[in-house]
Copies of this chain bind each other. A is one copy, B any other.
Amino acid sequence: MRDGSPPAGAGEYRALSRLISRIENHPGAAASIIADLWSRTGRARRVGLTGAPGVGKSTLADQLITAARDGGLTVAVIAVDPSSPFSGGAILGDRVRMVRHSGDPGVYIRSMAARAHLGGLAAATRDVAYVLEAFAFDLILVETVGVGQSELEIMRLADTVVVVTAPGFGDAVQTLKAGILEIADVLVVNKADRPGAKETVMQLREMRRLVPHHDAWDVPVVETTASTGAGVADVWEAIRRHGEHLRTSGELEARRGRRAEREVLALVEAALASRVRATVHDRGEPAELLARAKRHEADPHSTAKAILERLIPPEGR
C-alpha cells in the first residue's frame, strides 16, 4: 500500500466516504469507528496547508498533489471550509481545480462541510485524518482557508505545517496576528513574480528570526509561482527535509505525543461540557442555580462554584 498504488478499489472508496459521512453527521459514531481501525493508523505523513483566501493556496495544493504522485505516493486531501455558509461556495469553486486529480485512483479528495460548531469541525477533521491513515494513504494533505483560531487548531493535526502568503496582501502581518507563524514549519511566498515578493520574503525571514521555531528547525521561506509550477519542487523538498528532521530529531514522536494528549483532553473536556449542559438543563438544583444567575440574583463565579460542587461530589474530586 505504501508504494503509490491506489490504496483501494472503487468499492473501498465508497466505504471510506460512508465512514467519513458518518463521522461528520453523527459525532457519537466516531469513537467506535476510530477504535476499530486504530491498529492501522499512524503511518501516513500529514501535511497542513493554510493561508488567507486569494494567495493561491489551492493552486499550490494541486501542484503538491502532482509532486506527491510523481514521487509514487498516494494522496488524501481534506479541504476544510470555514463555518460561514456564504463563503463555502466560492471556496469550493476555487477548489474545483483539484478536481483534475479526480480521475486518479491514487488521489482521494474530501471537503469537510461547514458545521455549526467550530470545535465540532476540528474534532471531525481529527477523526477523518485517522480514517484516511487507516485506508493507507501515504500523504494526507489538510487544507484550511484563513488564519483564525479554528484553522490553527486544525493545523495542529499536521506533522508539517506549510503557511502560504503572497505579496501585497499584508499577509505577513495578518498571519502573525493569528499566531500561525509560531506553528509554521515551511513558509511559502506564492505569486513570487509579482512586485513586492522580495520584500515579503525579507519580512517573513525577519519575523522568523524574532519568533524562533519551537524545535531546532530553521524554517525555510520558499518562493513559488504556483500557476506556472515554479518553485513547487522547492516546497516539496522543504516538506521532505522537514519530515527527515522530524524523524531524526525525535520531534515526530514528541509532536504526535503532544497531539494525542491534546486530542484526549479535548474529548474529555467536550464530554464533561456536554454533561454540564445536560445537568443544568435537566436536574433540579443546578438548573435552579443557573436560573438565579440568569435573573442576576447571583454572580457567575459563585453560581459556577455551587454547580461544580453538585456535579462532582467532594469524594469524586
Contacts and interface: CB of A to CB of B under 8 A. Distances in A.
A83 interface: yes
Contact of A256 (B275, B296, B298): B296
Interface in A251-290: 256-258, 260-261, 263-265, 267-269, 271-273, 275-277, 280, 290
A214 interface: no
A277 B296 contact: no
Interface residues of A, number: 65
Interface stretch (A70-78, A99-107, A172-180, A230-238): A172-180
Number of copies: 2
A157 to B, nearest CB: 12
Contacts of A301: 30-31, 34-35, 267
A206 to B, nearest CB: 11
B308 A271 contact: yes
A293 interface: yes
A82 interface: yes
A150 interface: yes
Interface of A: 30-31, 34-35, 38, 41-42, 82-84, 86-87, 118, 126, 130, 146, 148-150, 173, 176-179, 207, 210, 256-258, 260-261, 263-265, 267-269, 271-273, 275-277, 280, 290, 293-296, 298-305, 307-308, 311-313, 315-317
Given A35-B299, A38-B298, A257-B294, 20 more contacts: A34-B299, A34-B300, A34-B301, A38-B299, A41-B296, A42-B296, A86-B177, A130-B299, A148-B178, A149-B149, A258-B294, A263-B293, A264-B280, A264-B293, A265-B273, A267-B304, A268-B276, A268-B304, A275-B317, A312-B316
